[in-house]
Structure 1
Amino acid sequence: MLLIAALSALASLLVTGWLLPWLRRKAMDRPNARSSHVVPTPRGGGLGVLIGLLPGWAALMVWTPGTLLPELTALLSATIVLAWLSFRDDRKPLPPSIRFAVQIAAIAFVLTMQAPDRLVFQGALPLLADRLITGIGWLWFVNLFNFMDGIDGISAIEAGAIGLGTALIAALAFFRFDLAAFGLVYAGCAAAFLWWNWHPAKVFLGDVGSVPLGLLGGWLLLQTALAGALSAALTIPLYYLVDATVTLLWRAYDGEKIWQPHRRHFYQKAVQRGFSHSAVSLRIAGLNALLVALATASLHPILGIGWTGLALGLCATAALMRVFAQGRGAA
């Protein structure tokens, strides 16, 4: 399984580089008033990530318990459909209603393949309510992952934290080394893309990368919640969850069209107020390391801090967002 993770990462690294000349001809991202970059840069690098990631996950299904195979088969099929649609959107923007409808259908399809006894809220809610809340949360995560992909390195770092965090918890807390391997492949392919996406980026993920990574990362977090560790599943991606949600509510309050591009995320404000892309992404990486540690500690048999880990993570996230809002002069 470790060999598969390494080969998947290597494939992502090499294929992304191989695709770069073609992406420069077919999918250039020209800076505009809402951009955080100033140099035309190709987008669609997520194709290279997926070419390494999806075969890796398919190979890992050999070690996966049979009860998970229908769900995983549905997940990989849904990912391919979303990747195809998202790449079309990268080249020629599609109406938000179409993208949203296909995302809903994809998530609903995967959830219908999930065994009835696999419940996020551990039986505290009826099956239909559990699935509905899970689906809405997953749909929001797919979109917020896409929204947050706005500066160099940020989404590769976030995906790496999700992959490593869920892998650590699966292995150390639940001894599910099969699930841990999925997280390692996910993190490895994200790290490989970081080679091309670190500031100044040679290529962007594009929707073809951020939307499928949101779907697959959401599934990894869902597995953590299904195992009885909902607080840990919420703690790991806390920066993305809070920044995206607060910004969305803020924009809605101001009467903006929330589906349109903008520059109001806290990490974008940090860049506007003096931080470099690298400085912002490194600070988020540091926060993510703390969040992974808190999530893991929440399940430790001795420490067992439980939901306190989520509360501490919220405090740390709020502190970093305040630094970003104030800008470099106040840091």
Structure 2
Amino acid sequence: MHWLIPLLVFLGSLQLTGLMHRYALRRGLMDIPNARSSHLVPTPRGGGLAFVSSLMLAVLGSYLMGGWASLGGRELALALWGGGLLIALLGFWDDHGHIPARWRLAGHLLVAGGALVLLGVPGSLGLPEWLAYPLFLIGIVWLLNLFNFMDGIDGIAGSEALSVTGGAMLLIGWLGMDSVLSDWLGVAAAATAGFLLWNWPPAKIFMGDVGSGFLGYLLAIFALQSANIGLLPIWSWLILLGVFIVDATLTLARRFLAGEAWYSAHRSHAYQILSRRWRSHRRATLGVLVINLVWLLPLAALAAARPALGVVLTLLAYLPLILLGLKIGAGRPESNG
């Protein structure tokens, strides 16, 4: 892929985010602070539509110029374009009004199921299909929802997506492998970076559900396809996404066990607690990036080089994160205030 494509996607995302900022102000599409918010001033939302549009246009342009092969195959293109577009539309609808949770979940299950029909599941895990398909269905739906849960302070979701896509590209290059999928990781990183310049603390605009759900789905599709073609094992992806997976899962599990309405708005994720303690969204977001770079990326590299040790390395990666989350107080009722 020519370097000009990621550059154009970056510039397109940057400019479209500016347009979305003006659109949100004009339409009153604002995120108003309340007792459960981590921000203090009304802020435009829905900016994720900018990087969604930039990436979708790049996918469409690639197809028109080079056919399915330039996208890594017909099935991957359909999963990226069709599934990604539906997830973004659900999020856009939710940003402008409200979708009942059951209908939103039904849409997520439908899209995740379609992606699995198109792409299949990795045979390298040695799981029977009757078990692998439900596990990956739950995994895709959980990943696209946890990005929504974790998009609670300035810059964190965009930084995570940029860190994971960039980390995956580094690992593929380190392994000496070449793939169309690696090119599209670069395009996704460029689209996210264009938005992140607007969303970096202090954020001028939030991505909203249209962006957060799309990012989670996009990374799930990249992880699934890379494992299917033997590019990166699923363990490397689980490790790269460790901060988001552990914080979201630990927090909601503790809220559920405490008898709270775990699905309702709250401020008890570990990253939210740290941003309040430090009185800085920037410090909390940078802290996540440091963990990703110093702790998770090397372990993901080991998992890529030694897939047979994937389970052990994933547990090793997660254990300190779980202990850190417990120490911070993630999911504790008293941490909501």
1:182 is aligned to 184
- More deviation in 10-19 or 74-83? 74-83
2:334 is aligned to none
- More deviation in 41-50 or 23-32? 23-32
Looking at structure 1, the residues matched to 146 and 323 of structure 2 have their Cα atoms a distance apart, in angstroms, of: 20
Structure 2 unpaired stretches of 5+: 331-337
Contact 1:60 1:178 in 2 (8 A): no
Of the candidates 88, 104, 109, which is equivalent to residue 104 of structure 1? Answer: 109
Secondary structure of the corresponding residue to residue 304 of structure 2: coil
Aligned length: 322
Secondary structure of the corresponding residue to residue 119 of structure 1: coil
1:93 is aligned to 98
The offset of 1:192, in angstroms, is 1.5
Structure 2 counterpart of 1:278, one-letter code: R
1:294 is aligned to 299
Contact 1:169 1:224 in 2 (8 A): no
- More deviation in 54-63 or 172-181? 54-63
Residues 48-91 of structure 1: CA distance to partner in whole angstroms, max 9, x if unpaired? 11121122234455373787312321331121122122111111
The offset of 1:299, in angstroms, is 2.6
Structure 1 counterpart of 2:252, one-letter code: L
Of the candidates 198, 201, 211, which is equivalent to residue 203 of structure 2? Answer: 201
- For residues 6-25 of structure 1, the aligned pairs below 5 Å read 6-25=7-26
Residues 99-157 of structure 1: CA distance to partner in whole angstroms, max 9, x if unpaired? 1101111111121112xxx5325262222321221111111111111110000000011
Contact 1:166 1:220 in 2 (8 A): no
Task: Report whether the alignment pairs 1:72 with 2:73.
Answer: no
Of the candidates 240, 263, 279, which is equivalent to residue 259 of structure 1? Answer: 263
1:329 is aligned to none
CA RMSD of aligned residues (A): 2.4
Looking at structure 1, the residues matched to 176 and 213 of structure 2 have their Cα atoms a distance apart, in angstroms, of: 28
- For residues 228-267 of structure 1, the aligned pairs below 5 Å read 229-267=233-271
2:147 is aligned to 145
- More deviation in 160-169 or 119-128? 119-128
Q: Structure 1 residues 131, 279: closer, same or farther in 2, change over 3 A?
A: same
Looking at structure 1, the residues matched to 72 and 272 of structure 2 have their Cα atoms a distance apart, in angstroms, of: 42
Identity of aligned residues (%): 35
Q: Structure 1 residues 262, 315: closer, same or farther in 2, change over 3 A?
A: same
Secondary structure of the corresponding residue to residue 113 of structure 1: helix
Secondary structure of the corresponding residue to residue 299 of structure 1: helix
The offset of 1:298, in angstroms, is 2.7
Looking at structure 1, the residues matched to 110 and 308 of structure 2 have their Cα atoms a distance apart, in angstroms, of: 38
1:113 is aligned to 118
Secondary structure of the corresponding residue to residue 246 of structure 1: helix
Looking at structure 2, the residues matched to 67 and 213 of structure 1 have their Cα atoms a distance apart, in angstroms, of: 19
Structure 2 counterpart of 1:76, one-letter code: W
Return the TM-score normalized by structure 1.
Answer: 0.89
Secondary structure of the corresponding residue to residue 122 of structure 2: coil
